[in-house]
Amino acid sequence: MEKLLLVFETEKTGSRIKEMIETAGLAECFLCHSAAEAKRLVHSKSIFAAVCGYKFQDETAESLFEDLPDSCYGLVLAPQSILVLIGNERLFKLVAPVSRGDLLAAVGMLLQASAQEDRTVRSGRTRKEQETIDAAKQLLIAQMAMSEEQAHRYLQKRSMDSGIKMFKTAHMVLDGSWKDWYNK
């Protein structure tokens, strides 16, 4: 089951959101009330996603996410007037008050993004390298009528056969130089 950090200043709000998410079976939630506590939990529990309000007793959601690893994504629940001020790309925004359905849908998307990031972190690739590999797969799918699995295997095999990292092989696919050795 996915792990999700909840950071809300008030116990009542945090507990209500925790109950909704866990009842829906989306994630195991860890509730805390301060940014300092959130930072400790992210590192100790290897959490890649957080749902939070905008302001805590010790700082704001934006400043919290500046101190968290780039692999951690967040969903901020706040009034529209506050959300428009947030510029951090890793923070999804949802206008509060929010319906149960909208919250669960947004948390589902957040968990998908964080799961992708978790796989990238575990693979030892940077986000840019993974994006390049994904773009190369899409090109192979479109131009060579491969499935996603076939495109992945193709990149993997060419990478191993040539002794070139998969990222470099993907880059060759994107710049067109891969056609020279496609039929080899």
pLDDT of residue 126: 74
Q: Who has greater pLDDT, 155 or 6?
A: 6
Give pLDDT tens digits for 98-157: 999 999 999 999 988 877 655 555 556 777 888 888 899 999 999 888 888 898 888 888
- Dihedrals phi, psi of 183, to nearest 5 degrees: -90, 5
Report DSSP state, residue 72.
-
Residue 181 in this model has a pLDDT that exceeds 90: no
Binning pLDDT at 50, 70 and 90, where does residue 176 land?
confident
Residue 5 in this model has a pLDDT that exceeds 90: yes
Buried b (16+ CB within 10 A) or exposed e, 74-93: bbbbbeeebbeebebebbbb
- With 0.85 as the threshold, say if the pTM is over it: no
Residue 65 CB neighbour total at 10 angstroms: 23
Cβ neighbors of 51 (< 8 A, separation 6 or more) are 4, 5, 6, 7, 17, 21, 74, 75, 77, 107, 110
Give pLDDT tens digits for 29-61: 999 999 999 999 988 888 889 999 999 999 999
Task: Tell me how far apart the alpha carbons of residues 178 and 89 are, in angstroms, rounded to a whole number.
Answer: 33
Query: Considering all CA atoms of the chain, what is the largest pairwise distance in Å, rounded to the nearest integer?
Result: 63
Dihedral over Cα of 117, 123, 125, 129: its sign: negative
